[in-house]
Structure 1
Amino acid sequence: MILAYSFRVQLRPRILQAIQTKVSRRPAKAKDWALPNTQRAQRWASSSNSREDYRYFLPVQTRWTDNDQYAHMNNVHYISLFDTAINTYMIRESGLLDHTAITKGGGRPVGFCVESLARYHRPVAFPEVLDVGVRVGKIGSSSVIWECAVFGEGGVGDAAATGHFVHVFVDPKTNKKVALDDDMKRALEKLQVQVL
Protein backbone atom coordinates (compact mmCIF):
# COMPACT_ATOMS: atom_id res chain seq x y z
CA MET A 1 0.00 0.00 0.00
CA ILE A 2 2.84 2.41 0.79
CA LEU A 3 4.46 1.66 -2.56
CA ALA A 4 1.23 2.45 -4.44
CA TYR A 5 0.78 5.72 -2.52
CA SER A 6 4.38 6.74 -3.17
CA PHE A 7 4.03 5.98 -6.88
CA ARG A 8 0.84 8.07 -7.11
CA VAL A 9 2.40 11.04 -5.33
CA GLN A 10 5.46 10.99 -7.61
CA LEU A 11 3.48 10.44 -10.78
CA ARG A 12 0.78 13.06 -10.25
CA PRO A 13 2.96 16.14 -11.04
CA ARG A 14 4.19 14.48 -14.25
CA ILE A 15 0.65 13.76 -15.39
CA LEU A 16 -0.46 17.32 -14.66
CA GLN A 17 2.52 18.69 -16.53
CA ALA A 18 1.80 16.46 -19.55
CA ILE A 19 -1.85 17.50 -19.61
CA GLN A 20 -1.00 21.20 -19.33
CA THR A 21 1.59 20.91 -22.10
CA LYS A 22 -0.85 19.11 -24.37
CA VAL A 23 -3.62 21.66 -23.75
CA SER A 24 -1.32 24.61 -24.41
CA ARG A 25 -0.31 23.16 -27.80
CA ARG A 26 -3.88 22.95 -29.07
CA PRO A 27 -4.93 25.34 -31.81
CA ALA A 28 -7.28 28.13 -30.84
CA LYS A 29 -10.30 26.72 -32.68
CA ALA A 30 -11.83 23.59 -31.17
CA LYS A 31 -12.82 22.20 -34.57
CA ASP A 32 -9.15 22.13 -35.62
CA TRP A 33 -8.03 19.72 -32.91
CA ALA A 34 -11.20 17.62 -32.69
CA LEU A 35 -10.30 15.58 -35.78
CA PRO A 36 -7.28 13.30 -35.82
CA ASN A 37 -4.57 14.45 -38.20
CA THR A 38 -4.32 11.27 -40.26
CA GLN A 39 -4.63 10.49 -43.93
CA ARG A 40 -7.58 8.20 -43.25
CA ALA A 41 -9.50 10.88 -41.37
CA GLN A 42 -8.85 13.41 -44.14
CA ARG A 43 -9.95 10.90 -46.79
CA TRP A 44 -13.08 9.99 -44.87
CA ALA A 45 -14.01 13.61 -44.19
CA SER A 46 -13.97 14.34 -47.91
CA SER A 47 -15.91 11.23 -48.96
CA SER A 48 -19.51 11.33 -50.11
CA ASN A 49 -22.47 10.72 -47.82
CA SER A 50 -24.81 9.86 -50.66
CA ARG A 51 -26.68 6.56 -50.93
CA GLU A 52 -25.35 5.90 -54.45
CA ASP A 53 -21.83 5.42 -53.09
CA TYR A 54 -22.72 2.28 -51.11
CA ARG A 55 -23.05 -1.23 -52.54
CA TYR A 56 -24.86 -3.24 -49.86
CA PHE A 57 -27.82 -2.22 -47.70
CA LEU A 58 -29.38 -3.80 -44.65
CA PRO A 59 -32.75 -2.47 -43.46
CA VAL A 60 -32.87 -2.24 -39.66
CA GLN A 61 -35.90 -1.49 -37.51
CA THR A 62 -35.03 0.87 -34.67
CA ARG A 63 -36.21 -0.18 -31.22
CA TRP A 64 -37.84 1.86 -28.49
CA THR A 65 -34.78 1.22 -26.31
CA ASP A 66 -32.50 2.81 -28.95
CA ASN A 67 -33.85 6.27 -28.08
CA ASP A 68 -32.21 8.19 -25.27
CA GLN A 69 -33.46 11.02 -23.07
CA TYR A 70 -33.02 13.45 -25.97
CA ALA A 71 -35.64 11.54 -28.04
CA HIS A 72 -33.20 10.29 -30.68
CA MET A 73 -31.13 7.15 -31.16
CA ASN A 74 -28.19 7.16 -28.76
CA ASN A 75 -24.70 7.28 -30.27
CA VAL A 76 -23.67 3.86 -28.90
CA HIS A 77 -26.03 2.09 -31.30
CA TYR A 78 -24.42 3.30 -34.53
CA ILE A 79 -21.28 1.15 -34.25
CA SER A 80 -23.54 -1.81 -33.50
CA LEU A 81 -25.51 -1.07 -36.69
CA PHE A 82 -22.28 -0.96 -38.71
CA ASP A 83 -21.11 -4.24 -37.18
CA THR A 84 -24.47 -5.92 -37.84
CA ALA A 85 -24.58 -4.85 -41.50
CA ILE A 86 -20.97 -5.90 -42.15
CA ASN A 87 -21.38 -9.31 -40.53
CA THR A 88 -24.72 -9.90 -42.27
CA TYR A 89 -22.97 -9.30 -45.59
CA MET A 90 -20.09 -11.58 -44.63
CA ILE A 91 -22.41 -14.43 -43.54
CA ARG A 92 -25.38 -14.24 -45.92
CA GLU A 93 -24.07 -12.64 -49.08
CA SER A 94 -20.40 -13.47 -49.49
CA GLY A 95 -19.51 -16.58 -47.49
CA LEU A 96 -16.66 -14.65 -45.87
CA LEU A 97 -17.73 -15.72 -42.40
CA ASP A 98 -18.93 -19.16 -41.33
CA HIS A 99 -20.15 -18.41 -37.83
CA THR A 100 -21.24 -22.01 -37.20
CA ALA A 101 -17.74 -23.36 -37.87
CA ILE A 102 -16.14 -20.77 -35.57
CA THR A 103 -17.96 -22.15 -32.54
CA LYS A 104 -16.59 -25.59 -33.40
CA GLY A 105 -13.01 -24.29 -33.62
CA GLY A 106 -12.54 -24.21 -37.38
CA GLY A 107 -13.64 -22.50 -40.53
CA ARG A 108 -12.47 -19.55 -42.54
CA PRO A 109 -10.46 -16.68 -41.12
CA VAL A 110 -12.44 -14.25 -38.96
CA GLY A 111 -12.27 -10.47 -38.95
CA PHE A 112 -11.24 -8.89 -35.65
CA CYS A 113 -12.27 -5.26 -35.33
CA VAL A 114 -9.17 -3.19 -34.57
CA GLU A 115 -10.72 0.24 -35.16
CA SER A 116 -14.18 1.74 -35.43
CA LEU A 117 -15.41 5.29 -35.85
CA ALA A 118 -18.78 6.99 -36.21
CA ARG A 119 -19.60 10.55 -37.24
CA TYR A 120 -23.06 11.91 -36.59
CA HIS A 121 -24.68 14.27 -39.07
CA ARG A 122 -28.32 14.36 -37.96
CA PRO A 123 -30.50 12.44 -35.50
CA VAL A 124 -32.71 9.43 -36.21
CA ALA A 125 -35.26 7.96 -33.82
CA PHE A 126 -37.65 5.12 -33.11
CA PRO A 127 -39.81 3.99 -34.93
CA GLU A 128 -37.79 4.69 -38.11
CA VAL A 129 -36.63 1.83 -40.31
CA LEU A 130 -33.04 2.64 -41.23
CA ASP A 131 -30.92 1.52 -44.17
CA VAL A 132 -27.33 0.75 -43.22
CA GLY A 133 -25.09 1.07 -46.27
CA VAL A 134 -21.76 -0.73 -46.55
CA ARG A 135 -18.88 -0.38 -48.98
CA VAL A 136 -15.23 -1.39 -48.95
CA GLY A 137 -12.75 1.48 -48.90
CA LYS A 138 -9.48 -0.45 -48.92
CA ILE A 139 -8.37 -4.07 -49.11
CA GLY A 140 -5.01 -4.87 -47.53
CA SER A 141 -3.07 -8.13 -47.46
CA SER A 142 -4.86 -9.28 -44.28
CA SER A 143 -7.25 -6.42 -43.55
CA VAL A 144 -10.18 -4.46 -44.91
CA ILE A 145 -11.56 -1.00 -44.23
CA TRP A 146 -15.35 -1.11 -44.33
CA GLU A 147 -17.07 2.24 -44.78
CA CYS A 148 -20.64 2.52 -43.51
CA ALA A 149 -23.52 4.96 -43.49
CA VAL A 150 -26.92 5.10 -41.81
CA PHE A 151 -29.73 6.48 -43.93
CA GLY A 152 -33.07 7.53 -42.48
CA GLU A 153 -36.45 6.09 -43.32
CA GLY A 154 -37.18 5.93 -47.02
CA GLY A 155 -33.48 6.14 -47.87
CA VAL A 156 -33.79 9.72 -49.08
CA GLY A 157 -31.23 12.42 -48.39
CA ASP A 158 -27.69 12.26 -47.13
CA ALA A 159 -26.51 9.91 -44.42
CA ALA A 160 -27.54 10.51 -40.82
CA ALA A 161 -24.23 8.99 -39.72
CA THR A 162 -21.08 7.73 -41.41
CA GLY A 163 -18.14 5.76 -40.17
CA HIS A 164 -15.65 3.00 -40.72
CA PHE A 165 -14.71 -0.37 -39.32
CA VAL A 166 -11.27 -1.95 -39.76
CA HIS A 167 -11.09 -5.74 -39.72
CA VAL A 168 -7.86 -7.71 -39.53
CA PHE A 169 -8.44 -11.32 -40.53
CA VAL A 170 -7.03 -14.01 -38.26
CA ASP A 171 -6.97 -17.79 -38.00
CA PRO A 172 -9.79 -18.68 -35.55
CA LYS A 173 -7.63 -21.35 -33.87
CA THR A 174 -4.48 -19.29 -33.29
CA ASN A 175 -5.74 -15.67 -33.47
CA LYS A 176 -2.74 -14.88 -35.70
CA LYS A 177 -3.33 -12.70 -38.72
CA VAL A 178 -3.55 -14.41 -42.09
CA ALA A 179 -3.45 -13.23 -45.67
CA LEU A 180 -6.74 -12.85 -47.51
CA ASP A 181 -7.20 -15.62 -50.06
CA ASP A 182 -8.46 -14.96 -53.60
CA ASP A 183 -12.08 -15.89 -52.77
CA MET A 184 -12.11 -13.43 -49.88
CA LYS A 185 -10.61 -10.67 -52.02
CA ARG A 186 -13.21 -11.24 -54.75
CA ALA A 187 -16.05 -11.04 -52.21
CA LEU A 188 -14.63 -7.79 -50.82
CA GLU A 189 -14.00 -6.30 -54.26
CA LYS A 190 -17.76 -6.54 -55.00
CA LEU A 191 -18.30 -3.76 -52.46
CA GLN A 192 -15.19 -1.72 -53.23
CA VAL A 193 -15.84 1.88 -54.21
CA GLN A 194 -13.30 4.55 -55.08
CA VAL A 195 -14.48 7.88 -53.71
CA LEU A 196 -12.41 10.94 -54.56
Structure 2
Amino acid sequence: MPHSTSAPTYSVRSPFGTRWNDNDQYGHVNNTVYYEAMDTAINTWMMANGGLDPQGSAIALCASSSCDFAASASFPEPLEVGIGIERLGTSSITWALGILRAGEDEPIATGRFVHVFVDADTRRPTPIPAAIRAAVEEQLVTAAR
Protein backbone atom coordinates (compact mmCIF):
# COMPACT_ATOMS: atom_id res chain seq x y z
CA MET A 1 0.00 0.00 0.00
CA PRO A 2 1.49 3.41 -0.92
CA HIS A 3 2.30 5.79 1.89
CA SER A 4 -0.11 8.73 2.09
CA THR A 5 1.38 12.17 2.65
CA SER A 6 -1.96 13.87 3.19
CA ALA A 7 -2.74 15.33 6.59
CA PRO A 8 -5.08 13.37 8.86
CA THR A 9 -8.60 14.68 9.14
CA TYR A 10 -10.26 15.24 12.48
CA SER A 11 -14.04 15.08 12.86
CA VAL A 12 -13.98 17.52 15.77
CA ARG A 13 -11.70 20.51 16.33
CA SER A 14 -11.54 22.30 19.66
CA PRO A 15 -9.96 25.77 20.10
CA PHE A 16 -6.77 25.81 22.14
CA GLY A 17 -5.72 29.32 23.08
CA THR A 18 -2.08 29.49 24.06
CA ARG A 19 -1.25 31.39 27.24
CA TRP A 20 1.60 33.68 28.21
CA ASN A 21 3.15 31.08 30.51
CA ASP A 22 2.94 28.24 27.93
CA ASN A 23 6.24 29.30 26.32
CA ASP A 24 9.32 27.69 27.82
CA GLN A 25 12.96 28.81 27.98
CA TYR A 26 13.34 27.96 24.28
CA GLY A 27 10.56 30.37 23.31
CA HIS A 28 8.00 27.81 22.17
CA VAL A 29 4.99 26.09 23.72
CA ASN A 30 6.36 23.42 26.06
CA ASN A 31 5.53 19.78 25.26
CA THR A 32 3.57 19.31 28.50
CA VAL A 33 1.09 21.97 27.37
CA TYR A 34 0.15 19.84 24.35
CA TYR A 35 -0.75 16.96 26.67
CA GLU A 36 -2.88 19.29 28.82
CA ALA A 37 -4.65 20.63 25.73
CA MET A 38 -5.38 17.14 24.36
CA ASP A 39 -6.64 15.83 27.71
CA THR A 40 -8.82 18.91 28.21
CA ALA A 41 -10.25 18.70 24.66
CA ILE A 42 -11.15 15.01 25.02
CA ASN A 43 -12.79 15.37 28.43
CA THR A 44 -14.63 18.57 27.47
CA TRP A 45 -15.93 16.82 24.36
CA MET A 46 -17.08 13.74 26.35
CA MET A 47 -18.81 15.96 28.95
CA ALA A 48 -20.58 18.09 26.31
CA ASN A 49 -21.52 15.30 23.89
CA GLY A 50 -21.68 12.11 25.94
CA GLY A 51 -22.68 13.32 29.38
CA LEU A 52 -19.44 12.32 31.10
CA ASP A 53 -19.69 13.15 34.79
CA PRO A 54 -16.18 13.29 36.33
CA GLN A 55 -17.79 12.56 39.71
CA GLY A 56 -20.05 9.80 38.33
CA SER A 57 -19.94 6.03 38.70
CA ALA A 58 -17.88 5.40 35.53
CA ILE A 59 -14.79 7.49 34.87
CA ALA A 60 -12.14 7.53 32.14
CA LEU A 61 -8.54 7.06 33.28
CA CYS A 62 -5.56 7.62 31.01
CA ALA A 63 -3.72 4.31 30.61
CA SER A 64 -1.29 5.50 27.94
CA SER A 65 -0.39 8.65 26.04
CA SER A 66 2.14 9.78 23.47
CA CYS A 67 2.88 12.75 21.26
CA ASP A 68 5.07 13.27 18.21
CA PHE A 69 6.18 16.82 17.44
CA ALA A 70 6.64 18.09 13.88
CA ALA A 71 6.82 21.89 14.35
CA SER A 72 6.73 24.39 17.18
CA ALA A 73 4.27 27.11 18.12
CA SER A 74 4.54 30.11 20.45
CA PHE A 75 2.22 32.31 22.45
CA PRO A 76 0.02 34.12 21.33
CA GLU A 77 -0.59 31.73 18.44
CA PRO A 78 -4.15 30.32 18.37
CA LEU A 79 -4.15 26.54 18.06
CA GLU A 80 -6.75 23.79 17.86
CA VAL A 81 -6.94 20.20 19.05
CA GLY A 82 -8.24 17.80 16.42
CA ILE A 83 -10.10 14.81 17.85
CA GLY A 84 -10.54 11.46 16.12
CA ILE A 85 -10.76 7.80 17.06
CA GLU A 86 -8.10 5.18 16.47
CA ARG A 87 -9.92 2.36 18.28
CA LEU A 88 -13.23 1.97 20.09
CA GLY A 89 -13.21 -1.03 22.42
CA THR A 90 -15.56 -2.39 25.05
CA SER A 91 -14.09 -0.47 27.98
CA SER A 92 -11.48 1.70 26.28
CA ILE A 93 -11.10 4.39 23.66
CA THR A 94 -7.89 5.13 21.81
CA TRP A 95 -8.07 8.76 20.72
CA ALA A 96 -6.21 10.05 17.64
CA LEU A 97 -5.31 13.68 18.26
CA GLY A 98 -3.67 16.55 16.46
CA ILE A 99 -2.39 19.94 17.49
CA LEU A 100 -3.11 22.27 14.59
CA ARG A 101 -2.63 25.90 13.80
CA ALA A 102 -6.10 27.48 13.71
CA GLY A 103 -7.69 26.90 10.32
CA GLU A 104 -4.88 24.68 8.98
CA ASP A 105 -5.05 20.95 8.26
CA GLU A 106 -1.44 19.85 8.78
CA PRO A 107 -0.83 18.97 12.46
CA ILE A 108 2.23 20.39 14.18
CA ALA A 109 1.97 17.51 16.66
CA THR A 110 0.07 14.22 16.68
CA GLY A 111 -1.00 12.56 19.88
CA ARG A 112 -2.61 9.41 21.15
CA PHE A 113 -4.45 8.84 24.43
CA VAL A 114 -5.88 5.55 25.66
CA HIS A 115 -8.71 6.03 28.11
CA VAL A 116 -9.95 3.02 30.07
CA PHE A 117 -13.36 3.40 31.66
CA VAL A 118 -13.47 2.13 35.21
CA ASP A 119 -15.93 1.96 38.06
CA ALA A 120 -15.20 5.03 40.19
CA ASP A 121 -15.29 3.03 43.44
CA THR A 122 -13.57 -0.25 42.54
CA ARG A 123 -11.31 1.10 39.75
CA ARG A 124 -12.08 -2.05 37.76
CA PRO A 125 -12.77 -1.77 34.01
CA THR A 126 -16.38 -1.17 33.06
CA PRO A 127 -18.06 -0.79 29.66
CA ILE A 128 -17.92 2.64 28.04
CA PRO A 129 -21.11 4.46 29.14
CA ALA A 130 -23.81 4.13 26.46
CA ALA A 131 -24.17 7.90 25.86
CA ILE A 132 -20.43 8.34 25.35
CA ARG A 133 -20.24 5.32 23.03
CA ALA A 134 -23.19 6.65 21.00
CA ALA A 135 -21.60 10.11 20.69
CA VAL A 136 -18.25 8.63 19.64
CA GLU A 137 -19.90 6.36 17.08
CA GLU A 138 -22.08 9.14 15.66
CA GLN A 139 -19.72 12.11 15.69
CA LEU A 140 -16.26 10.61 15.41
CA VAL A 141 -16.38 7.09 13.93
CA THR A 142 -19.15 7.64 11.39
CA ALA A 143 -17.89 11.09 10.43
CA ALA A 144 -14.42 9.68 9.69
CA ARG A 145 -15.75 7.20 7.11
Q: TM-score range by the shorter chain?
A: 0.7 to 0.9
Is 1:76 the counterpart of 2:32? The answer is yes
Letter aligned with residue 80 of structure 1: E
* Shift in alpha-carbon separation, 1:172–1:48, aligned structure 2, 3 A: farther
SS at match of 1:191: helix
Partner of 1:55: 11
Partner of 2:44: 88
Is 1:67 the counterpart of 2:67? The answer is no
Partner of 1:130: 79
SS at match of 2:107: coil
Contact (CA 8 Å) 1:49, 1:162: kept in 2 or not?
no
Cα displacement (A) at 1:136:
1.3
Alignment of 1:18-33 (within 5 A): none
SS at match of 1:176: coil
Larger RCO (alpha carbons 8 Å, 6+ apart): 2
- Name stretches of at least 5 consecutive residues in structure 2 with no aligned partner: none
Query: How far apart, CA to CA, are the structure 2 residues paired with 1:191 and 1:178?
Result: 21
Contact (CA 8 Å) 2:86, 2:96: kept in 1 or not?
yes
Residue identity (%): 39
- Structure with the higher fraction of residues in helix conformation: 1
Query: How far apart, CA to CA, are the structure 1 residues paired with 2:121 and 2:91?
Result: 16
Which entry has the higher C-alpha Rg, 1 or 2? 1
What is the total number of aligned residue pairs between the two structures?
A: 140
Deviates more, 1:113-122 or 1:63-72: 63-72
- Name stretches of at least 5 consecutive residues in structure 1 with no aligned partner: 1-44
- Structure with the higher fraction of residues in strand conformation: 2
Partner of 1:158: 106
* Shift in alpha-carbon separation, 1:98–1:54, aligned structure 2, 3 A: same
